[in-house]
């Protein structure tokens, strides 16, 4: 009798095993990345000795002035920033998911550094605007990234637009109200019931787990209302986010050469955000030589996902770009 049950259980087990997929297979639990899915618009760049597939989209006429759009995170994607595309009537917009982020190829620890982000920016510039300076629109982490580029090579950046930029030095972070992404923490990952079956032992499961939790994890910091619409996103690159937040963004300062950038800067800060208008007024506005700042009312950190706020922002950006 006992052996009969053992045999039956074994048969069921083998049957299931034969039909089960590997969670790392493309599109199994999260959308595939560019090197796995040829349908994704992409280019390949070589950074830190590695060829990496970058998910990229362009909007507008390449003959127009180029504006590069840098998304947040690190680790996020540009999906909610596609609402900037109306600017493509007069500008050539280039949006990409940074290495290890969104739908771009995942990377290893030795490919994550500020220097390699610089290299990535210039690799993209060589492809899309090799001869002329570009404008940059940077959101959140993308704002930090944009300031890093603009202050080190001011001649390459003719316009600098910062949408809720993250803190520009770890010193500012220490003074400001802390934002903690506890979802990165091992104990929290293990404590969740989904740890019973999601081990976060590879990029796919790790990204999937983050996407379960992301909206709730940041609701208190970045939204007016906890019952907000979910953020339009494809996939979050948790590994690059983890390394950056733990090892790189804890000790850095991009304010030391900020006065080297003498062009006017545009900052937009939201009403409902820890990195919003009040934060920007207090910590970032005093740093720049010339700056315009506007508050985006009734919106949070990801205000470009809100159509009313996006319309307001695009209007301000157009005015700034024409100056």
Partner 1 sequence: MRSHFLFLFSFLFIVTTQANAQVFYGNLTPGKHSLAMHNSVFLAGLNYNRRLPIKLIQRDLNLQAEISTPIFLLKDFDSWNIELSAGVLFKNDQVWNTGIYLAQSLATADNILGTHFSTSSSITLQPGYYRNNWFLAADLRLQITEFTYIKFSQRHHDFYADIANTQAPDSALLSMPNTRLLLGFIYGRTNKTKTWSFMTSGGLLSTNQAQSISIFPEVGLMPFYFSVDISRHF
Residues of this chain that bind partner 1 (CB under 8 A): 9, 13, 16-17, 19-23, 27-32, 37, 39-41, 79, 82, 103, 106, 108-109, 177-180, 182, 185-203, 205-206, 208, 211-213, 215-217, 220-221, 230, 232-235, 239, 242-243, 274
| Spatial contact of 265 and 146, defined as CB atoms under 8 Å apart | no
* Shortest Cβ 322–partner 1 spacing (Å): 30
Tell the smallest beta-carbon distance from residue 125 to partner 1 (Å).
25
55 or 159: CB nearest partner 1: 55
Give the shortest CB-31-to-partner 1 separation in angstroms: 5
DSSP character for 16?
A: H
Closest to 241 (Cα-Cα) out of 267, 219, 221, 214: 214
C-beta closer to partner 1: residue 20 or 322: 20
The 10 Å Cβ neighbour count of residue 314 is 16
Minimum CB distance to partner 1, residue 86 (Å):
17
Burial 270-287 (b: 16+ CB within 10 A, else e): bbbbbbbbebbeebbbeb
CA–CA gap between residue 261 and residue 270 (Å, rounded): 24
Tell the smallest beta-carbon distance from residue 44 to partner 1 (Å).
Answer: 18
**Terminal-residue alpha carbon distance, the chain:** 85
Q: Environment class of residue 37 by beta-carbon count within 10 Å: exposed (0-12), middle (13-18) or buried (19+)?
A: middle
Residue nearer to partner 1 on the CB measure, 246 or 253:
246
Nearest to partner 1 of 246, 308 (CB atom): 246
Closest approach, Cβ 288 to partner 1, in A, equals 25
Comparison of 101 and 151: residue with beta carbon closer to partner 1: 101
What is the Cα–Cα distance from 279 to 16, expressed in whole angstroms? 54
Question: Smaller CB distance to partner 1: residue 102 or 165?
Answer: 102
């Amino acid at each position: 009798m006992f052996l009969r049950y053992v045999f039956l259980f074994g048969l069921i087990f083998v049957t299931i095993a034969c039909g089960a997929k590997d969670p790392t297979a493309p599109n199994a639990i999260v959308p595939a990345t560019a090197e796995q899915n040829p349908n994704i618009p992409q280019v390949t760049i070589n950074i830190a000795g590695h060829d990496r597939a970058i998910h990229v989209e362009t909007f507008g006429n390449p003959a127009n002035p180029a504006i590069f759009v840098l998304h947040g995170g690190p680790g996020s994607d540009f999906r909610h920033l596609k609402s900037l595309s109306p600017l493509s009537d007069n500008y050539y917009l280039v949006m990409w998911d940074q290495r290890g982020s969104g739908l771009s190829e995942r990377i290893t620890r030795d490919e994550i550094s500020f220097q390699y982000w610089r290299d990535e920016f210039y690799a993209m510039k060589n492809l899309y605007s090799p001869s002329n300076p570009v404008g940059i629109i940077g959101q959140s982490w993308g704002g930090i990234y944009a300031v890093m580029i603009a202050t080190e090579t001011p001649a390459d950046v003719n316009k600098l637009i910062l949408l809720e930029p993250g803190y520009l030095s770890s010193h500012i972070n220490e003074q400001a109200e802390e934002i903690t992404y506890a979802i990165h923490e091992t104990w929290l990952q293990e404590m969740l019931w989904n740890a019973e079956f999601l081990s976060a032992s590879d990029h796919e499961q790790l990204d999937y787990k983050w996407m379960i939790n992301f909206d709730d994890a940041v609701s208190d910091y970045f939204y007016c209302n906890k019952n907000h619409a979910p953020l339009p996103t494809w996939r979050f690159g948790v590994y690059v986010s983890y390394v950056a937040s733990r090892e790189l963004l804890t000790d850095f300062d991009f304010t030391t050469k900020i006065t080297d950038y003498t062009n006017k800067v545009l900052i937009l800060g939201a009403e409902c955000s820890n990195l919003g208008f009040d934060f920007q007024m207090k910590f970032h506005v005093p740093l720049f030589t010339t700056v315009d700042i506007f508050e985006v009312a009734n919106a949070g950190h990801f205000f470009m996902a809100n159509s009313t706020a996006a319309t307001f922002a695009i209007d301000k950006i157009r005015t700034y770009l024409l100056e």
